[in-house]
Amino acid sequence: MVNVALIAHDKKKLDLALFAKEWKDVFKNCKLYATKTTGKILKEKVGLEIQTFESGPLGGDLQIGALAVSGKIDFAIFLRDPLTAQPHEPDVSAVLRICDVHNIPLATNLATAEAIVLEIQKKLNN
């Protein structure tokens, strides 16, 4: 099983939902984790099974980061809004740092997210 974290800032949630819908055949074969609102949108709009945590500003980013530290995340897609200041920016930075420290492939935009999904697809087909 491939474990994937899916996180998106408010202005990127629709982008992530459309992306997940496009790649639903891949994602439905993964164990998915998301922050609360992102997970709710992906469940309702795409029909994916997702384990959700708190919203990002309430510690959800850090909860997913803890999973990454414990080796339970294989890939992360975190669609960030680079043009809007985030009140929980230190938490966002922590998740990015954890992915770097633990060598977890991380996408922060749709182009790199597609590259990651293609890699997940390869792993699932092996």
At 29-39, the pLDDT tens digits run 999 999 999 99
Find the domain containing 72 and state its range. Answer: 1-123
- Give the chain's domain count: 1
> For the chain, which residues score pLDDT lower than 70?
87
45 annotated among ligand-binding-site residues: no
CATH number of the domain bearing residue 7: 3.40.50.1380
The model's pLDDT over 80-90, given as tens digits with 9 standing for 90+, comes to 987 777 767 77
102 annotated among ligand-binding-site residues: no
Residue 17: predicted pLDDT: 98
Residue 117: predicted pLDDT: 98
Residue 31: predicted pLDDT: 98
Rg (alpha carbons) of the chain, rounded to whole number:
13
Mark whether 61 is an active-site residue.
Answer: yes
Residue among 15, 25, 61, 81 flagged as catalytic: 61
Residue 81: predicted pLDDT: 85
21 annotated among ligand-binding-site residues: no
Number of neighbouring beta carbons within 10 Å of residue 74: 19
Residue 115: predicted pLDDT: 98
SS3 category, 122: helix
